[in-house]
Amino acid sequence: MEALTDTTVEIDLSQSTVRELNAELHAPTSKSYRVSNSRGLHSVAVGIKDEIDVEIDGDVGYYCAGMHQKGNLTIAGMAGPGVAENMMSGRVHIKGHASQSAAATAHGGLLVVDGNASTRCGISLKGGDIVVKGNIGALSAFMAQAGRIVVCGDAGEALGDSIFEARLYVRGSVASLGTDCIAKEMRDEHREELAQLLKDAGMEDEANDSKYLDSFTRYGSARTLYHFNSGE
């Protein structure tokens, strides 16, 4: 790939199509992009695979930042369903709220949500990290296999239903736990892990506040679903 320019490229989605935007981001000519007039359009900035910075000035629809790799993407607005779906690496930062299925099946990288995340946040998570500064909805972390989810607010019903080895940290209340999800001991290694995740999400003061860290509860798998039991 040719050397990238340091000049920020401005792309106006009232003048360019989403297809044209994504084509440019798949073969970037610049290290940074600013996208305007996103207007809730779907599939914005999907398939980024290079170390570039992309700032979207507005709301986005379905599947923004799907299959994200290496890049640093900021959404200065709300995100629709499936944001950062199947994310592999890099960072996605939503300054508003996220709709359902945020970071579904993510294998790596970090998703930060400054607001709330709706239902099924981190569903079938496979190794990525999620930090939600607000609340998350029902059935979040359903069948989450690996990775970490930090919730600084409350969690909805059936948290961690059928969870495998993902680790969940919730500061607020949990409406109910899903099948095989239980509260677990918060050891020093988990406090250190939580602190690092908060730092990565830009929450430096909270990460250095021992009382704040102690206000979290860790949840994970009771490991009773690993083997079939016929009940005989």
pLDDT in tens, 183-201: 999 999 999 999 999 999 9
Residue 56 has pLDDT above 90, yes or no: yes
> What 3-state DSSP class applies to 164?
coil
Pairing of strands 32-36, 9-12: parallel
User: At the top level of CATH, which class does the domain 39-221 belong to?
Assistant: mainly beta
As a whole number, mean pLDDT of residues 127-142 equals 98
Q: How do the domains of the chain map onto residue ranges? A: 39-221
**pLDDT value for 226:** 72
Give the C-alpha separation, 99 to 122, whole Å.
12
Q: Please report which confidence band the pLDDT of residue 3 belongs to, taking 50, 70 and 90 as the band edges.
A: confident
Cα–Cα nearest to 116, from 142, 131, 98: 98
Look up the pTM and report it.
0.96
**pLDDT value for 225:** 85
Answer whether 129's CB lies under 8 Å from 166's CB: no
- HSE, CB side, 13 Å, CA atoms: give it for residue 158: 13
Give the C-alpha separation, 68 to 77, whole Å.
18
Give the C-alpha separation, 170 to 81, whole Å.
22
For 201, the token pair is 């999400």
**pLDDT value for 231:** 57
Pairing of strands 217-221, 167-170: antiparallel
DSSP tally for the chain: helices H, then strands E: 4, 11
**pLDDT value for 1:** 56
As a whole number, mean pLDDT of residues 10-34 equals 98
